[in-house]
Amino acid sequence: MEFLVKPGSVETLETSALVLTVNEQLQLDSQGQLIDTLCAGALSAHLQAGDIQGKLGQTLLLHNLANLKARRVLLVGIGKDEELSDSNVRKLVSAILSTFKNLSIKDATLAFADLTFKDRNAYSSARLVAECLVDGLYVFDQFKSEKAPIVQLNLITFACHQDQQVAVEKACKHGKAIASGMAFTRDLGNMPPNICHPRYLAEQAQELGKLHKNLSIEVLEEKQLEELGAGALLAVAQGSDQPPRMIIMNYHGGKRAEQPYVLIGKGITFDTGGISLKPGASMDEMKYDMGGAASVLGTFKTLLELQLPINVIGVLTCAENMPSGGATRPGDIVTSMSGQTIEILNTDAEGRLVLCDALTYAERFKPQAVINIATLTGACIVALGSQTSGLMGNNLSLIESLLSAGKQASDVAWQLPLFDDYQELLDSPFADIANIGGPKAGTITAGCFLSRFAKKYPWAHLDIAGTAWISGGKEKGATGRPVPLLIQYLLDRVQ
């Protein structure tokens, strides 16, 4: 999808379809009124005739209006609220796309210059629209014999006011890059686990590295992981025939000496639970347990497209959690890279095990901040649902930056406490720490576990178990979250 930004008058724009908004009071905005005047009140006539009520997402497609350069006008309802909320923007864009998906038009123009979005300026409004437009056309049909019909629409023009042009142009560039990162994340998540294993993720990182001079990739294999003492990561992998990988992605966009930001992604390419086997229902969805790693890869895709002037290191900690005769047992004690010993009481709490070694590994980069991203706990879905990612950490200013990034990017997170009082739930009679904390506060005790390995830098943990994918149903699949949040956080560091 290409974007064009055209400031000035809408009346003279040549386009296959001009999209105008109408509210429940049946009012057009100033751009709509200009068009209405030009075509001698044809739009008002339709409104008065009751052809559309202006309800959010309602559409009316009109042809052959007199005096217009636009071949069609699509009226779309925005409801009664004066300011559009993010979720209403999504509904609006999806209504527009469902109209255009069924038409064989190649271009359309949005006259949204006067539309007001709740808590958003011209830049962030247009960015959300651009992101939703591109993301809304995402399909994953690689494994279908019959492919989804190709959508013809490939050019969107934003008809804006003169003083909005620079902001809207930047918004289109950013929105498109974010959606392309999300598509990469979604593809990886949706990929079946027989194909998407740790070595596959390593290849994906290497492919990105080949395309960009300022990205270098290092892939650590079992022998190197043994030398590093990554006992926790190796323990998770030992029940699988698939060898683990730790993938290090080094993006150099900033000054040489500038300390990097580190993003660590959980990359469990399939989580059976191991010997603490999960129940059978929906187990297929545990292919998405590499959603953290996939979101780091997607963030890098966007980062590379935008070439942000910043240094970022990605660490993908990848393994498959399977229950073979070689698998770890409940009761096994392993030694992590940090030297701390861990009693594995539940082999299904494997995410924290692969992450803890990556957290220790990250110390060598002397990072400004470390953010780990993981589909870590079912308890997080119970607490926050699919709308909001869980956020924990050891540094208030980092937490605040991430909360604000989530809001700006319409990819929200909410903080849960890591009070010291929770730490004792992880006490083990036999080792330094147990890998589970009992039935209460499951998301927080997982965060507490990680905090033991993240003492040397500002650190935050995003639990994306609820937000990274949509379970069951027609919409089943990876969402591409939290790529928008992560990119916003990085954008905020450079501007």
Footprint of ligand BES (CB under 6 A): 271, 289, 346, 348-351, 375-379, 381, 436, 442, 465
| Whether 476 contacts 407, CB under 8 Å | no
Nearer to ligand BES, 204 or 467 (CB): 467
Q: Choosing from 278, 407, 476, 493, which is the catalytic residue?
A: 278
| Whether 303 contacts 204, CB under 8 Å | no
- Region near Mn ion per CB under 5 A, out of 69-77, 265-273, 430-438, 452-460: 265-273
| Whether 349 contacts 297, CB under 8 Å | no
According to the binding rule CB under 5 A, does residue 351 interact with Zn ion? yes
Instruction: State the sign of the Cα–Cα–Cα–Cα dihedral 288, 289, 290, 293.
Output: positive
From residue 227, how far is each of 198, 328, 337, 398 by CA, in Å? 19, 20, 10, 32
Residues 194-253 that bind Mn ion (CB under 5 A): none
- Region near Mn ion per CB under 5 A, out of 15-23, 121-129, 346-354, 450-458: 346-354
According to the binding rule CB under 5 A, does residue 320 interact with Mn ion? no
State the nearest-atom distance from the C-beta of 325 to Mn ion, in Å: 19
According to the binding rule CB under 5 A, does residue 348 interact with Mn ion? yes
Nearer to ligand BES, 246 or 379 (CB): 379
Q: Choosing from 127, 352, 452, 481, which is the catalytic residue?
A: 352
**Listed residue (88, 15, 457) closest to 262, CA to CA:** 457
Nearer to Mn ion, 350 or 357 (CB): 350
- Region near Mn ion per CB under 5 A, out of 31-39, 115-123, 349-357, 456-464: 349-357
- Region near Zn ion per CB under 5 A, out of 57-65, 260-268, 323-331, 469-477: 260-268
Residue 476 bears catalytic tag: no
Beta-carbon neighbour count of residue 297 at 10 Å? 26
- Region near Mn ion per CB under 5 A, out of 65-73, 269-277, 293-301, 453-461: 269-277
Contact pick of 271, 320, 357, 411 for Mn ion (by CB under 5 A): 271
Nearer to Mn ion, 36 or 348 (CB): 348
Residue 278 bears catalytic tag: yes
Residue 483 binding target from Mn ion, Zn ion, ligand BES, none, CB below 5 to 8 Å by type? none
Which amino acid, one-letter code, is at 347? T
State the nearest-atom distance from the C-beta of 268 to Zn ion, in Å: 5
How far is it, in rounded angstroms, from Cα 313 to Cα 309?
13
Beta-carbon neighbour count of residue 121 at 10 Å? 12
How far is it, in rounded angstroms, from Cα 392 to Cα 399?
7
| Whether 460 contacts 392, CB under 8 Å | yes
From residue 43, how far is each of 67, 72, 76, 97, 346 by CA, in Å? 13, 12, 12, 21, 64
Tell me how far the alpha carbon of residue 203 is from its chain's centroid.
Answer: 21
State the nearest-atom distance from the C-beta of 453 to Zn ion, in Å: 17
Nearer to ligand BES, 19 or 431 (CB): 431
State the nearest-atom distance from the C-beta of 127 to Zn ion, in Å: 32
Residue 378 binding target from ligand BES, Mn ion, Zn ion, none, CB below 5 to 8 Å by type? ligand BES
State the nearest-atom distance from the C-beta of 62 to Mn ion, in Å: 54
- Coil, helix or strand at residue 105: coil
Residue in the shown chain whose Cβ atom is closest to ligand BES: 378
**Listed residue (41, 106, 46) closest to 76, CA to CA:** 46
How would you write 180-227 as a 3-class SS string? HHHHHHHHHHHCCCCCCCHHHHHHHHHHHHHHCCCEEEEEECHHHHHH
Residues of this chain that bind Mn ion (CB under 5 A): 271, 348, 350
Q: Catalytic residue positions?
A: 278, 352
Residues of this chain that bind Zn ion (CB under 5 A): 268, 271, 289, 351
